[in-house]
Amino acid sequence: MPAPKPFPAPTERHPVLTLDGTPHEETVFLKSVIAHPNITVGDYSYTTDFSGNRDYAALLAPYLYPGAPERLEIGKFCSIAHGVRFITASSMHPMGGVSTYPFRIFSRDDISAYREECAGRGDTVVGHDVWLGFEARVMPGVRIGHGAIVAACAVVSRDVPDYAIVAGNPARVVRMRFDPETVARLLALAWWDWPIAAIQAALPAIEAGDLAALAACAPATCELAANPS
């Protein structure tokens, strides 16, 4: 593989260029296009969407309103395919009685009990280096672990372990990407937190799945080698 070119800034709106050099307008770094008080997005996480809707907060989390009692947190280096939706807690109807009809949403004075029920479902959290496939659905309060893969059209209604592959409705673990020891080593390395220059230097190791080489590229390791005590 050739040496990687300089990486775009995480604030770049359209980081992908087509063959003729024009920006691929359907692909965006989410950090550059979402300014929603209830959504946080890590560096370099992107989506590709062909719907023409450019309100990316509403596109990804249509029920999450500013000031809602829950949050959506997306980590770094996540890949989010067309049609992915986060169905956050504010979409839920009351289920403690005999009817699910949301009678009290029509009065701002009465809605507080519903907000409390929504808050109890918790935030939706996506870890780092997660791939969410075409039209996947993520339900309220779910945590998707680092390095996980969510298959196309999966409905994720429970937490996903780090480095698991899940598919189906409801989504279930199909297999783990790596054995427990490798997962522990990857979590300890946390390459997604390295400076982007260090990540690019480690790209051959990342692409080859060579953990020893990846560990040797870790910024702390390199600094120790350069400055032995």
CA distances in angstroms from 135 to 50, 149, 153, 168, listed in the order given: 12, 13, 5, 12
For residue 102, the model assigns a pLDDT of 87
- 93 included as an active-site residue: yes
Residue 113 has pLDDT above 80, yes or no: no
Q: Are β-strands 124-126 and 79-80 bridged in parallel, bridged antiparallel, or unpaired?
A: unpaired
Residue 158: band (very low, low, confident or very high) from pLDDT cuts 50, 70, 90 = very high
Dig out the tokens for 43 from the structure: 């560096």
CA 180, chain centre distance (Å): 22
Return the C-alpha torsion angle 127, 130, 132, 136, nearest 10.
-30
**Whether the model pTM is above 0.85:** yes
Q: Where in the chain are the domains?
A: 27-177
Q: Which of 14, 36, 93, 146 is catalytic?
A: 93
- Which is more confidently placed, 102 or 175? 175
Render pLDDT for 35-93 as a digit per residue (tens, 0 to 9).
999 999 999 999 999 998 889 999 999 999 998 999 999 999 999 999 999 999 988 88
The answer to whether the beta carbons of residues 91 and 59 sit under 8 Å apart is no
Q: E strand or H helix at 200, and its extent?
A: helix 196-201
At CA 77, angle to CA 72 and CA 83, rounded to 5? 60
Render pLDDT for 124-146 as a digit per residue (tens, 0 to 9).
999 999 999 999 999 999 999 99
Residue 227 has pLDDT above 50, yes or no: no
Q: In what order do the strands lie in the sheet with 46-48?
A: 27-29, 46-48, 79-80, 131-132, 149-150, 164-167, 172-176
The answer to whether the beta carbons of residues 27 and 6 sit under 8 Å apart is no
Average pLDDT score over the chain: 90
Taking residues 150-172, report their average pLDDT. Answer: 98
Fold of 27-177: UDP N-Acetylglucosamine Acyltransferase; domain 1 (2.160.10)
Best mean pLDDT range from 19-23, 119-123, 162-166, 224-228: 162-166
Give the residue carrying structure tokens 């009692």. 69
User: Backbone phi, then psi, for 222, in 5-degree steps?
Assistant: -65, -40
Q: Is the dihedral of CA 152, 158, 163, 169 positive or negative?
A: negative
